[in-house]
């Protein structure tokens, strides 16, 4: 099943038999290369977007020396980081310290195995796709905690502990928000979820989208939940003792995770690769970048929350709302007639607004001072 030179790659994907008997390894090879290239290129793009975008929002220019519009700045940074000395603290747990960046990086890469770039164009169309994503994405935390522990530094340990606490808490509303989508789509496969989105699920599940976006930002430690890095408090958090290529890997993880979350949001809520006129992969790319832009925007705007407020937000605000959202969605899926699908949009948006306003009045974040 080696594709003949005249055939385009795209054509090859479409002619693949559904169970790929002989083409399995070719398929595997092609998509592994595509995914790694996609992640590396887009991470560079993300770094550029973040730095330039933040520059514009902060009334300055951002990097503009390396290449046109500073486009080569990520390349220059990569070269600089690669040529740096690799330092390991004297009392560090050397094996753990060495292993941590790898353990953190691999899962971020593996998430993309089930993300469809266009119809059927994905490494493995698992029928439990979204479950796989949820399971794999939490493995990164192990790597981050290894980094925090192995560095033998109090700042990095504090950062890693905060990260573990945050990820464990935010996993629950994250998954509950996903279940709403799964209920409507009737499948766990990401490709099927995209195919089910004749109306993007952001309209049918506005509350679910909001919860997923917040919990997703907290999972990957984007501002305002960037407590594990917290440059004004913990200086750099868990990767304070890393330099050279190991630091670069953590930097890569950070943006690969942001990329993964924006890809999942695109797939679950924004209709994935679907869209008029433009080719599907371009739609996918545009939506992913749009989601990331919103993340950059929140990062430049909001102050950071405190650790107890972070936990309170997960347990007192996101979790109840996610449960309510799940119940409402289940009732709607059971009772609502297909013909009235468009009526569901304003109803659901109204429900979201009412619930969010009500809950923000009801719940108080954090518990303030402790008597000592």
Partner 1 sequence: MALKTEPFVLNIGPVHPSTHGVFRMRATLDGEVIIDMEPVFGYLHRGIEKLAEERTYTGVIPLTDRLDYLASMSNNLAYVLAVEKLAGIPVPERAEYLRVILAELQRIASHLIAVGAFLNDCGAFFTPFLYMFREREKIVDLFEMVSGQRLLYNYMRIGGFTQDIPDEFLPALDKFVRQMPGFIDEYDRLLAENEILLARAKGVGILPKELAINICASGPVLRGSGVNWDIRKVDPYSIYDRFEFDIPTGSAGDCYDRYRVRVQEMRQSLRIIEQAMKQLPSGAVRSEVPHLIHPPAGEAYAHIEAPKGELGFYLVSDNSIAPYRCHIRAPSLMNLTALREMMLGWKIQDAIIIFGSIDITMGEVDR
Q: Which residues contact partner 1 by CB under 8 A?
A: 54, 57-60, 154-155, 158, 223-224, 226-227, 230-235, 299-309, 360, 365-366, 368-372
The enclosing H or E element of 95 equals helix 94-110
**Distance, CA of 51 to CA of 203 (rounded, Å):** 31
Taking the least distance from each CB to partner 1, the nearer of 198 and 232 is 232
Ramachandran quadrant class, 120 (left: phi over 0; alpha: psi -120 to 50; beta: rest): left
For the four alpha carbons of 155, 43, 120 and 30, in that order, the dihedral sign comes to negative
When the beta carbons of 169 and 205 are compared against partner 1, the nearer one is 169
Please choose, from the candidates 162, 147, 148, 156, the residue with its C-alpha nearest in 3D space to the C-alpha of residue 234: 156
CB of residue 207 to partner 1, shortest distance in Å: 18
Comparing CB distances to partner 1, the nearer of 182 and 230 is 230
Nearest approach in angstroms of CB 59 to partner 1 is: 5
Minimum CB separation of residue 366 from partner 1 in Å reads 6
Coil, strand or helix at 306:
coil
169 or 266: whose CB is closer to partner 1?
Answer: 169
| Shortest distance, position 302 Cβ to partner 1, whole Å | 6
Helix 280-301, helix 24-57: angle, nearest 10: 40
Decide whether 31 or 225 has the Cβ nearer to partner 1.
225
Structural contact between residues 218 and 225, judged by C-beta atoms closer than 8 angstroms: yes
282: tokens are 């371009």
Q: How far is the CB of 241 from partner 1 (least distance, A)?
A: 15
Residue 307 CB neighbour total at 10 angstroms: 19
Q: How far is the CB of 258 from partner 1 (least distance, A)?
A: 15
Rounded to an integer, what distance in angstroms lies between the CA atom of residue 267 and that of residue 272? 4
Q: Which is nearer to partner 1, 222 or 287 (CB)?
A: 222
């Amino acid at each position: 099943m080696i594709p003949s030179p005249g055939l385009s790659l795209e054509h090859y994907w479409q002619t693949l038999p559904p169970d790929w008997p002989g083409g399995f390894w070719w398929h595997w090879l092609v998509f592994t290369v595509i995914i790694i290239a996609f992640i590396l290129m887009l991470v560079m793009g993300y770094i550029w977007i973040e730095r330039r975008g933040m520059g514009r929002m902060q009334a300055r220019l951002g990097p503009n020396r390396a290449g046109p519009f500073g486009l080569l700045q990520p390349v220059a940074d990569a070269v600089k980081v690669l040529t740096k000395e690799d330092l390991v603290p004297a009392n560090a747990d050397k094996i753990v310290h060495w292993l941590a960046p790898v353990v953190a990086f691999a899962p971020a890469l593996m998430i993309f195995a089930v993300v469809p770039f266009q119809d059927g164009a994905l490494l493995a169309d698992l029928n439990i796709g979204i479950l796989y994503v949820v399971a794999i994405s939490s493995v990164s935390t192990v790597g981050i905690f290894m980094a925090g522990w192995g560095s033998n530094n109090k700042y990095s340990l504090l950062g890693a502990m905060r990260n573990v606490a945050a990820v464990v808490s935010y996993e629950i509303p994250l998954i509950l928000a996903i279940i709403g989508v799964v209920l409507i789509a009737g499948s766990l496969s990401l490709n099927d979820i995209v195919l089910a989105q004749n109306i993007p699920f952001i309209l049918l599940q506005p509350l679910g989208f909001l919860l997923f976006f917040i919990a997703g930002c907290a999972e990957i430690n984007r501002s305002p939940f960037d407590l594990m890095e917290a440059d004004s408090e913990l200086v750099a958090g868990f990767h304070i003792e890393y330099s050279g290529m190991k630091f670069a890997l953590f930097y890569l993880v950070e943006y690969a995770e942001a990329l993964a979350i924006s890809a999942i949001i695109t797939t679950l809520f924004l209709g994935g690769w679907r869209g008029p006129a433009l080719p599907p992969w371009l739609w996918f790319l545009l939506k992913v970048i749009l989601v990331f832009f919103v993340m950059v925007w929140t990062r430049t705007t909001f102050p950071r929350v405190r650790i107890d407020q972070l936990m309170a937000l997960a347990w007192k605000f996101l979790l109840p709302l996610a449960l309510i959202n799940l119940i409402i969605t289940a009732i709607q899926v059971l009772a609502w007639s297909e013909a009235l699908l468009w009526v569901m949009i304003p109803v659901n948006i109204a429900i979201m607004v009412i619930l969010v306003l009500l809950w923000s009045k009801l719940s108080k974040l954090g518990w303030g001072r402790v008597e000592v």
